[in-house]
Amino acid sequence: MFRDKLSVVPRWLVLGAAAVLVAGCSTSKVDQTANWSPNKIYTEAKDEADSGAFDKAIPLYEKLEGRAAGTPLAQQAQLEKAYAQYKSGEKPAAIATIDRFIKLHPASPALDYALYLKGIINFNDDLGMFAFMTRQDLSERDQKAAKDSFQAFKELVTRFPESRYTPDARLRMNYVVNSLAQYEVHVARYYYQRGAYLAAINRSQLALADYREVPALEEALYIMVQSYDALGLNDLRDDAKRVLTTNYPQSAYLTRGFRAKDDPWWKLW
């Protein structure tokens, strides 16, 4: 019988392949945590996080979740992983981790912290690298993160009124409400400055209808006064001005116009 030449592998090729396999095995990543106890993994992860190496802490917390599944330590790892993800800039992943925690552990004693952390992550939605130069504030961005933050804080305050995180959550809720109102006014001002006076009036009215006792309403009324004046609707202008002076008798808008950009509404926060 003829021998199949393709089945005869040259000896040098076999040796070469073996060398490659050995080299591949020697460079394969070894799991240094294989023989670590859950407590050691947690300690190492915590040390990495405390030193600011959140990218190194995250995989350690993930290992701990698996190794200590069903224990309080695993729950702790999940929450600390969410925080590490947040600090690493992985905000969607952090929110997903928290949502998973809340779903799996609805009776956890750390649920108040989970809600607080969720609120904080959305509250601190990144403005971008040069935000401090542009002075852009929360009211000038998309409001989904602000609304999600408010809902998390609201659930915390409602369900855990005695939580250590509740006082700060209340303050942040007030800020968010002010922000949402100011967002409507920001859009109204945008329309006014571009001559879309009817749109500016509608947006100002929306702010007045949806919010109470927030700083933004003073400017909303002023925009209505100016817009009605631009449209030649003098009676409506005078009505709006009367409401403005009644509620804000010392209003500076009537003497200096719109708020200067270098005097943000939120600067006392």
Q: What is the Rg, in whole angstroms, of the alpha carbon atoms belonging to the chain? A: 29
Identify the pLDDT of residue 1. Answer: 39
Identify the pLDDT of residue 141. Answer: 59
Dihedral sign for Cα 79, 85, 88, 89, please. Answer: negative
Closest of 230, 235, 220, 232 to residue 194, by C-alpha: 230
Question: Could you list the mean pLDDT of each consecutive 10-residue stretch along the chain, which spans 269 residues?
Answer: 38 40 54 86 94 94 91 94 95 96 94 96 59 46 82 96 96 90 92 96 94 91 96 96 94 78 43
Identify the pLDDT of residue 30. Answer: 77
- Stated pTM of the model: 0.71
Q: Which two tokens stand for residue 258?
A: 């719109």
Q: Fill in the amino acid letter for 168.
A: D
- Half-sphere exposure for 225 (CA within 13 Å, toward CB): 19
DSSP 8-state code for residue 261 = T
Identify the pLDDT of residue 263. Answer: 47
Identify the pLDDT of residue 27. Answer: 52
Give the C-alpha distances (Å, rounded to integers) separating 261 from 44, 65, 190. Answer: 47, 48, 14
Identify the pLDDT of residue 243. Answer: 96
Identify the pLDDT of residue 28. Answer: 55
Helix (H) or strand (E) run with residue 256 in it: helix 253-256
Q: Which two tokens stand for residue 63?
A: 């290992």
